[in-house]
Amino acid sequence: MSQVLRFNLQRNNIWSSWSVRFLKQHAGFSSGKLLQPGSYEKRHFATKLTETTSWHKTDSGSCIPAISPLGLRQTSEHDQPATILVFDIETTGFLHTDHRIVEFALRDLSGGKNCTFETLINPERNVPRYAAEANNISTELVCRPDVPRFSDVLPILLAYVQSRQAPGKPVLWVAHNAKLFDVPFVMQEFERCSAQVPADWLFVDSLYLARKLKKSDGNIGLVNLKALGKHYGVSSEGPSHRAMPDVQALCGILPKITLGLKLTCDGLMSEASKFYDFRKVS
């Protein structure tokens, strides 16, 4: 498991062209070193092929998961109204105005090869002890010159998302408590980089959906990720309160929620708030 950055790109060998070019341009990494087994950068920037869960529609139109063969998409891009990316971040604290992102992870629900993106981020500030205790990400781990800053990661992230995005279709970002936590942080980091969030990025808060479902399903108790995972029998690999395990958990929970809400992919789209809606809140 990489300590700093795992960067997975799908669709042929974008990895060997785009990513290296971006890394060279924006993060100052050498492509030669990058591809050398055992090299320092290789340890940090590694691709991983995963067999993943993809979504497709039931007869009733609800979104449910289905195991897809390695590297194959069961749902064609033309059938999907949007690329759905489940993401999670770890930060140095609660306030997006005062704190920084230290880890970013996402997973493309359509599955297939290299459907995940995960990286540690150099916050350029100390990680408070309470935050480090919560997410096991210490100052020593991320405040190092070899750990990319958000500004380094941003062009790679944008390229990755673009590589996953179907032409003309929006990108639907899903996170737990996205409205109050994840999106304001991401927005703040974009602003720090003087970058614009793409206009076709939409955001859905799974916490809001879970609360909505709870009203109609009395069996649902707490609506935090852990409780929902337990309720639906969804377990995630890896330590809790780290970005990718939480992403994996949400990937398992989200289809259950949409199924419970009888929410179609289009319905999920309608639940999405555009970026400027979140900006009003934050």
Partner DNA sequence: GCGTAGTGGAACAGCGCGAG
Partner DNA sequence: CTCGCGCTGTTCCACTACGC
> What character string, x for contact with DNA (CB under 7 A) and - otherwise, covers 50-89?
--------------------------------------xx
Chain centroid, CA 215 distance in Å: 27
State the Cα–Cα distance between residues 76 and 183, nearest whole angstrom: 28
Angle (CA) 242 50 83, round 5°: 80
CB 147 within 8 A of CB 120: yes
Q: Beta partners for 91?
A: 101
Size of the site for DNA (CB under 7 A): 33
Q: Binding residue for DNA (CB under 7 A) from 154, 176, 234, 260?
A: 176
Computed over its alpha carbons, how large is the radius of gyration of the chain?
18
Quick one: which of 84, 153, 207, 268 contacts DNA (CB under 7 A)?
A: 207
Is 150 among the residues that bind DNA (CB under 7 A)?
no
| Cβ–Cβ < 8 Å for 119, 5 | yes
134 binds DNA, rule: CB under 7 A: yes
- Min CB(41)–DNA separation in Å: 25
In the annotation, is 241 catalytic? yes
Q: Which of 35, 193, 227, 269 binds DNA (CB under 7 A)?
A: 227
Q: Do 204 and 178 meet the contact criterion of CB atoms below 8 Å apart?
A: yes
> Of 245, 274, 278, 272, nearest to 105 (Cα)?
245
Binders in 230-259 for DNA, by CB under 7 A? 241, 243, 246
Q: Which residues pair with 76 in a beta bridge?
A: none
One-character DSSP codes across 139-160: HHHHSSTTSPBHHHHHHHHHHH
DSSP for 62-112 reads BEEEEE--TT--SS-TTT-SSEEEEEEEEESSS-TTT--EEEEEEEETT--
Give min distance, CB of 61 to DNA, in A.
25
**Residue 215 engages DNA in binding (rule: CB under 7 A):** yes
* Binding characters for DNA, 18-57, by CB under 7 A (x = yes): ----------------------------------------
Q: C-beta of 189: minimal distance to DNA in Å? A: 14
The DSSP line for 22-53 is HIIIII---HHHHTSTT-HHHHHSB------E
- One of 181, 203, 275, 278 touching DNA (CB under 7 A): 181
Q: By CB under 7 A, which span of 9-17, 24-32, 222-230, 254-262 interacts with DNA? A: 222-230
90 binds DNA (CB under 7 A): yes
| Least Å from the CB of residue 250 to DNA | 9
Whose Cβ is closer to DNA: residue 61's or residue 221's? Answer: 221
Neighbours of 112 (CB within 10 A): 21
Our CB check for DNA shows the closer of 32 and 221 to be 221
Shortest distance in whole angstroms from residue 218 CB to DNA = 10
Q: Provide the annotated active-site residues.
A: 241
Binding site residues, DNA, CB under 7 A: 88-91, 93-95, 102, 128, 130-131, 134-135, 176-177, 179-181, 207-208, 211, 214-215, 222-227, 241, 243, 246, 281
